[in-house]
Amino acid sequence: MNADAAPASPGLPEVIVGLVCLSVLAIGGGVGLVRLGIDPIALGIILTALSGVGGMAGFFAAYLLRIRSWAAFGVRRISWRWIMIGAVLGVLAFFAYISFTGDSRTPQDIYATGASGGIWTVIAATFFLSVITPIGEEFLFRGVVTTALLRYGAFIGVVGGALIFAIFHGINMVFPTAVVVGLAAGEVFRRSGSIWPAVTVHFAVNLPTIPVMVLASVAK
């Protein structure tokens, strides 16, 4: 057996490289952009896109490190049945959080300003938050982090991945929502073996965020 052969699935090196890349690009880059004094609407749009872009950058950094196999990270085709299960879980996760906490605020409402510049900013912010962000974050947090942790068992994989996912969203009002989303996405990822149902969970949770925030601001 070749001792230098690539592992069959991502491990700690991929997790570290992916999360460091996300931290530098999304968190560090976001802090830097805030200090530049950019127009608030433009800044909101950029920050909305940055979490997804940072997630994908982290994923590709992990992917290129050793393995370079899509399937090893759960990027594989899946039936529409699992996609629908993911969508239902996403809707249930969102409303379960509201029901248990009484918190009707939407997750990641710090991006509301980016959608306040008219219909095109609403469309752009919704696209970034409900499409780009779920793809980028799920590829990294489920495809890399959860996959690596699953070697220690289902509980460590799903719960550990969800907690790391939530921590990267900050210890704030978003944290409980991120835990719920992470648990739902992690479990459907574990059971299906594919990243796409997890992306669908995240999509279903994030999709109403921008429209709800815009409607709430109009109603005030």
Tens digits of per-residue pLDDT, 102-160? 555 554 555 667 777 788 888 888 899 999 999 999 999 999 999 999 999 999 999 99
- DSSP symbol at 219: H
Q: Per the domain annotation, does 122 fall within a domain?
A: yes
Count of C-beta atoms within a 10 Å radius of residue 43: 18
Going from the C-alpha of 99 to that of each of 26, 181, 188, the distances in angstroms are 31, 15, 22
Q: Per the domain annotation, does 4 fall within a domain?
A: no
Count of C-beta atoms within a 10 Å radius of residue 3: 4
Segment 167-211, tens digit of pLDDT: 998 887 788 889 999 999 999 999 999 999 999 999 999 888 777
List all residues 6 or more positions away from 116 whose beta carbon is below 8 Å from its beta carbon: 41, 44, 214, 217
Q: By the 8 A CB rule, do 64 and 14 touch?
A: no
In single-letter form, the type of residue at position 79 comes to S
pTM over 0.85? The answer is: yes
Query: Considering the chain, what is the average pLDDT of its residues?
Result: 87
- Half-sphere exposure (Cβ direction) of 201: Cα atoms closer than 13 Å: 29
Q: Per the domain annotation, does 2 fall within a domain?
A: no
Q: By the 8 A CB rule, do 214 and 122 touch?
A: yes
Number of domains in the chain: 1
Task: With cut-offs at 50, 70 and 90, classify the pLDDT of residue 1.
Answer: very low
Q: Per the domain annotation, does 1 fall within a domain?
A: no
Q: Which two tokens stand for residue 142?
A: 């489920």
Segments forming the whole domain that contains residue 65: 12-219
Q: Per the domain annotation, does 3 fall within a domain?
A: no
Q: Per the domain annotation, does 5 fall within a domain?
A: no
Task: With cut-offs at 50, 70 and 90, classify the pLDDT of residue 3.
Answer: very low
Q: Per the domain annotation, does 16 fall within a domain?
A: yes
